[in-house]
Amino acid sequence: MEKVIEAFTGITEEGKKSRIPARLDKALTASGVLLAIFMMAHMFFVSTILFGEETMYTVTKMFELNFIFDGGLPIIVSFFVAIITAIFIVHAILGIRKFPTSYRAYLRIKEHSKMMKHTDTSFWMFQWISGLIMMFAATIHLYIMFTQPENIGPYSSAHRVVSENMWLLYIVLLICVELHSSIGLYRAAMKWGWFDGENPKETRAKMLKAKKYISVFFLALGFITLFAYIKIGIERADHLPMKYHPTDTIEIIKK
């Protein structure tokens, strides 16, 4: 019961200010930073297709630990997806606390944001809306990755993107995730004063610039990568989503 009273009043039994909101906020930042780091690594992994089909295939097999288990074990990828999904769910539950809880609250926040014309307030609006979209969109992607880890590879992935129409979901996810991650990192650095230094105003301007570069870089890389999968998917649209094998490239060259 004490916890319920503390949650509602924000005051502990001893009459002190509750630390729970701050702890939840710290957990939100920690899970967000983990996800942002994962998303950057994920983008680099997915974009290995730009170096060729064989490179993406080699990296995929490495995630299946083929250097330990002969031929690789896709279930290892499922295990990894489960960990990321758990962090994603925790982050979403902690983030939901920040959502407006009624239409009236939403209108009030929207008006407030319009009136203020303050970058950080607009960022906050974008964060909860993109977070809401990702709660639905990312779940579809994570479920497919969890249940079909054996269908990750240059041909199977391209087939999924084109013939299974995942390109549309990926465009939505790409925009949401890249902007949400870079804004999230910027807002976390501002909130906890990680790089405040002597002149916090100057730091803020620098951080905003860094945020812009990160967004542009990952969005550009994401779209170029998506086009690469679409190209392979269209070229191979008449083929079954046959598994890639390193000798395939040699066979194509021979023909």
- Count of CB atoms within 10 A of residue 246's CB? 11
Q: Distance of alpha carbon 248 from its chain centroid, rounded? A: 32
- Contacting range for ligand HEM; rule: CB under 6 A; set: 16-24, 64-72, 96-104, 152-160: 152-160
**Token pair recorded at residue 21:** 């909101």
247-254 vs 53-63: helix crossing angle, rounded to 10 = 160
Which C-beta is closer to ligand HEM: that of 50 or that of 205?
A: 50
**Token pair recorded at residue 33:** 């930073």
* 255: DSSP letter: -
Among 57, 155, 229, 244, binds ligand HEM (CB under 6 A): 229
What minimum distance in Å lies between the beta carbon of 74 and ligand HEM? 10
Q: Which residue has the tokens 């779940």?
A: 139
Among 95, 222, 233, 241, binds ligand HEM (CB under 6 A): 222
Which C-beta is closer to ligand HEM: that of 162 or that of 189?
A: 162
CB 189 within 8 A of CB 33: no
162 scored as a contact of ligand HEM (CB under 6 A)? no
Q: Between 80 and 119, how does the x/- string for binding to ligand HEM read (CB under 6 A)?
A: xx--x---x-------------------------------
**Token pair recorded at residue 12:** 């502990």
166 scored as a contact of ligand HEM (CB under 6 A)? yes
Among 36, 46, 207, 214, binds ligand HEM (CB under 6 A): 46
What minimum distance in Å lies between the beta carbon of 125 and ligand HEM? 19
**Token pair recorded at residue 82:** 């489960």
Site for ligand HEM in 125-144 (CB under 6 A): 134, 138, 141-142
Q: Which residue in 121, 138, 141 sits closest to 130, CA to CA?
A: 138
Judged by CB under 6 A, the number of residues near ligand HEM is 25
Q: Helical H runs in the chain?
A: 2-9, 20-46, 53-63, 75-96, 103-116, 119-147, 154-162, 166-192, 200-235, 247-254
CB 80 within 8 A of CB 152: no
- Contacting range for ligand HEM; rule: CB under 6 A; set: 68-76, 96-104, 166-174, 202-210: 166-174
What minimum distance in Å lies between the beta carbon of 47 and ligand HEM? 7
- Contacting range for ligand HEM; rule: CB under 6 A; set: 104-112, 124-132, 169-177, 183-191: 169-177
- HEC profile for 116-148? HCCHHHHHHHHHHHHHHHHHHHHHHHHHHHHHC
Q: Between 60 and 79, how does the x/- string for binding to ligand HEM read (CB under 6 A)?
A: -----------------x--
Q: Which residues bind ligand HEM (CB under 6 A)?
A: 42, 46, 77, 80-81, 84, 88, 134, 138, 141-142, 145, 152, 157, 160-161, 166, 170, 173-174, 177, 222, 225-226, 229
